[in-house]
Copies of this chain bind each other. A is one copy, B any other.
Amino acid sequence: MYEVLKGKDFTDLLKGNVSFVLCIGNTKTAEIPGITVAGANPDLIKFTPPADAELLYYGKCKSIPFPPATPDGKPTPALITYTALRLVKPQLFVVDSGLMIKPKIPYVSINAPVGENIYERDAMSIESVEEAFDYAKIFGREVSKNSDCLMIAESIPAGTTTAGAVLKVLGKEPRVSSSMPENPVEIKMKVIEKAASRVNSEDPLEIIAKVGDPVMIGVLGVALGSEKPVVLAGGTQMAAIANLIKLFEEKFEVNIATTKYIAKDRTADIVGITPEDANVVAVDPLLKNSSKEGLRAYEEGFVKEGVGMGGATLLAYVKGYEDAFLREIEKDYEKIVG
């Protein structure tokens, strides 16, 4: 079950050989108290991206002894992505887009730095952004050679705040989503306003260097390097990146797959912040029907999206797993979360 929120239905792209590319990294912006719940406590937040990636390969985490969760125990969206990838078995690559902790898996290095706290200073040097962008483009090109479509996902705590700053700089309303039902809009806006005030450039890489985060470089580079169609799997962050893509290539076909939890988030505006000619699809993982409280919480506005959960669900649906999907998620939930 999915809905075209904007543009055309691109789901046929997923019928062929899809490569799933997950870009993971960190921004020290996540260290601002109250800005993110992508981790059970502040010390664990930096482990969330590598642990998400490990979960996708192994069905369990290795860097931490349990899957990432919010402080009140809502499990990482990587759980749902894991179920989809386990069923569909697409090619999976993970890109180190600026990690604090390296994951215990094979990963692709694009020499991306960890992002600085954009409330305090520039996120990265322009030189390091340019280098990582070049490498990401090469990697995207190579993956796409043997693929019909690239689905690109992300995991970076506080990524909606850096996305908001990019949107603000681009002249869009930074109406971004959150992994919390009570979006900490005030804190985010304070960070976004201050960061955006430092920028006086329309160059996409300079904007990322000033107020973005390293995961944006990975996603942007892989997408622009690809010689095949691309689906961005995510919400607010992918919307921001989609706008940056358009600054490079006006005619680039932007396809975004996200969850209905993002679509119905009233503090956010996925339709409004995506490029005018973007195609946006929202998929319903039907978690409201789950017997597990931790999964039903998604319907109540917790977590909502991340680790390509919406896109992966869409992929599973297109490949014929729609009817079985919730049951399969619950099986994995019992095994992984307990």
Contacts and interface: CB of A to CB of B under 8 A. Distances in A.
A37 to B, nearest CB: 30
Interface in A111-163: 111, 131, 135-136, 138-139, 142-143, 145-147
Which applies to chain A's interface (DSSP): helix, strand, loop or mixed? mixed
A146 B105 CA distance: 19
Contacts of A321: none
Nearest to A140: B106
A89 B145 contact: yes
A109 interface: yes
Nearest to A57: B138
Number of copies: 2
A291 interface: no
Nearest to A148: B146
A16 to B, nearest CB: 10
B106 A138 contact: yes
Interface in A92-114: 92-93, 96, 102, 104-111
A42 interface: no
Nearest to A90: B145
Contacts of A102: 109, 111
Ordered nearest first, which 4 A-B pairs have the shortest CB separation? A106-B135, A106-B139, A146-B146, A91-B145
Given A91-B142, A106-B139, A106-B142, 20 more contacts: A17-B146, A19-B146, A57-B138, A89-B145, A91-B143, A91-B146, A96-B109, A102-B109, A104-B111, A105-B135, A105-B138, A106-B109, A106-B110, A106-B136, A106-B138, A107-B108, A107-B109, A108-B109, A146-B146, A146-B147
